[in-house]
Chain A
Amino acid sequence: MAPLINLETEYPIIDSSFRNFCASHGIFSVEDFLIHDLYMLAAFAEQSMSSERLKEGITQVLSIIDEMHQPWLNGMELLEDAKRNKHVLPTGIQGIDLLLGGGVRIGQLTELVGPSSSGKTQVCLQTASNVASNHMVLYLDTGNSFSPERIAYFLGKTNDLASAQDKKSILQKVMSNILCHSVFDIFAMFDVLHQLESHLRYQDGGGGCQMRLLIVDSISLLISPVLGSNSTQGRALMLSAGYLLKKLAHQHNLAVLVINHTVGSEVGSSKPALGDCWKSIPHSRLFVSCDHGSNDYNVSILKHPSMASGKAARFLI
């Protein structure tokens, strides 16, 4: 909420008389203009002495406000952007890729929900190893669950037929493409994401290896401590985190994969944690579970933009 005085150097029309006029109506910053009635303000300006200059000032502020929102796009431009940039990243797990129609989609936030030891981290590690052969991956690890040995194991399995030399170079490439950060609270995550945002703004447009996947394992561990039962601040933090992830996904063409755990519900079955406010944040929600005794995993769709919920598949890791 920067005060209006900061704008004077760039827009000389916002001089002290304009600022005094605004201050008399309780407006001290550009954000204050947003919740005020600008037509009323113009009517007041009409009645005062230097009405022309004041109205010019208001028009100038309106053009500043015009830059504060995202650009308007029409359907064709949206479609072109989607076709050109928002591809699908295969996870490398056949069952999941078939269910999702190719893999996780760039530009969307996909959530994996499941009880403990249901294979969620394994899915993330496998996806990271699959994507990292071509793109960069950022892995935000909240519970020290990132394991380079597992990545090497998955790579060994997929590149079974390659020579030892090739295997080694692939392993090196993948390992250098995965950036792993440990974050233990939500503010550290915000920090990392803001740094990522400024880094990506410079990276986009350049060639070379671009970041295409962001994994947060697990976001529920970061949000649950602040959520509490009656806390509006906690919910606001959770929603800001969700929107920041979606903004990164859309503007910088990332696929975001987050992990959530389950809590017991009154009926006895389990439901995803983080409550009802979180439900409308992810684009897709997948429920993962493990069959005890066998190595089989089940995944079913809780929510998806273009598929009915309830569709399920099995997969192996």
Chain B
Amino acid sequence: MGSHAKSWLVEDENAREMLERVLTARPFLLLPPLHRVPLRVGNTVELVGPSSSSKTHILIQAAITCILPEQWNGVIYGGLGQSAMFIDLDCRFDVLRFSELLNRRITEAGSSCKVDCNKMDSEAQFARMKHYNEELFALCMKRFLYIRCYDSSEFLATLKTLHYRLQKDRDTHGLNVHLLLIDSIGAFHWLDRGSSSFSLKGDNRKSWNIQNVSEAVVQEIRRLLSLHPMLVMATKAVVLGNKYSTNELTRNYGKWPAVDNPYSRNVTSSDQQLPYREYMPVVWQSFVTHRILVQATDDDSVNDGYPNGSVYLLEWLMPPVSSLDKFTVTDIGLFILS
């Protein structure tokens, strides 16, 4: 008995060892263009922006970084080598574009390493390179898990059964999920609001309204994160108002009905108001730990190096970073401009 009590007091590891262990098991991620603030598991990042502002593209880039291995066959890819899950609530995911971007990353990393290799037997080497790239492509694509949901019931059903699936995957394939991507968390907002709660039989019966659905969603994601630590990234389509608006947008902005107020509240920072109207319920707003605003600009002046690309402006709202980032998206991928 005495020895048991004593073994409680003996230290397992000192602070430095613990820090090393945590940093290797749960590394900080610097995903361009979100490189200003390091992200790690347990964070919930919300990408906010009007329609067509490359939010989904940023998610795709994060997924590609996650599924690529750290290094493979001597080539360094700089990825995490873990699974990424994509819950598509917008149902607009284009897998052909995704595979194109993944292939480009693989060939780019492979070709930059080729400089070190010998020049002889270049044809055989090229063929071997191509074969390795294809093998790696298949390996990475298998780490990308995708599901579509056409309404909130499917979304909740997915979240409730996700834990068992992940556990099964972990036991059979040894797959660990690092990234949970949700494309457009607000996709069913109007659908749920429209399904008005007519009175149902039973006193303590919860009705299917936006508040209960959002609470259930946040609760399931929290449970999931406690069992399978992941980085959560969600996009949200908003309408910009105030200082970011053109005349057209202020007209829409002014039209939001007053009945919003019981369910949403502007999360105001100390000095400035949010540049858009928040519509997600408070339970989701308080779950989010990081928030980024992206929007398209017409600024072509900085775009000389990348024709055929649109330029986007990125601003960190939470934690607030004073500088704005500019990046462009072309056929080839995403490039930081400033």
Contact = CB atoms under 8 A, between A and B. Distances in A.
Interface of A: 23, 25-28, 31-32, 34-39, 62, 65-66, 68-76, 78-79, 82, 229-230, 232-233, 235-237, 239-240, 243, 246-247, 250, 265-267, 271, 275-277, 279-280, 283, 302-303, 305-306, 308-310
A251 to B, nearest CB: 10
Contact of A246 (B91, B143, B194, B216): B91
A32 B205 contact: yes
A239 B190 contact: yes
B145 interface: yes
Interface stretch (B115-123, B196-204, B284-292): B196-204
Nearest to A276: B239
Give the 10 A-B CB pairs with smallest separation, nearest first: A236-B194, A75-B141, A75-B144, A26-B204, A279-B51, A68-B157, A266-B247, A305-B94, A34-B156, A26-B205
Interface string B225-256: 00000000000010100000011100110010
Contacts of A250: 91, 148
B158 interface: yes
A279 B96 CA distance: 22
B157 A36 contact: no
B334 interface: no
A288 B90 CA distance: 25
B138 interface: yes
B150 interface: yes
A67 to B, nearest CB: 8
B335 interface: no
A151 to B, nearest CB: 31
Interface stretch (B17-25, B71-79, B206-214, B314-322): B206-214
B95 to A, nearest CB: 4
A245 to B, nearest CB: 10
Contact of B146 (A73, A246, A279): A73
A38 B160 CA distance: 9
Contacts of A240: 191
A276 B219 contact: no
Contacts of A275: 252
Given A26-B206, A239-B190, A265-B248, A35 B161 contact: no
Interface of B: 50-52, 67, 90-92, 94-100, 138, 140-151, 153-158, 160-161, 164-165, 184, 187-188, 190-191, 193-196, 200-206, 208, 212-213, 215-216, 219, 223, 237, 239, 246-248, 251-252, 255, 257, 308-310, 329-331
A37 B92 CA distance: 30
A306 B96 contact: yes
Nearest to A284: B92
Nearest to B212: A35
A109 to B, nearest CB: 8
Contacts of A70: 147-150, 154, 158
Given A70-B147, A74-B141, A79-B141, A31 B208 contact: yes
B165 A72 contact: yes
A238 to B, nearest CB: 8
Nearest to B96: A82
A75 B150 contact: no
A62 B149 CA distance: 18
B283 to A, nearest CB: 13
Contacts of B155: 69
20 contacts: A26-B202, A26-B204, A66-B157, A69-B149, A69-B158, A71-B147, A75-B99, A75-B140, A76-B138, A79-B95, A235-B194, A237-B194, A265-B251, A267-B246, A267-B248, A276-B51, A279-B52, A280-B92, A305-B94, A309-B310
Nearest to A73: B146
Candidate in B138, B141, B143, B191 with the most chain A CB atoms within 10 angstroms:
B191
A69 to B, nearest CB: 4
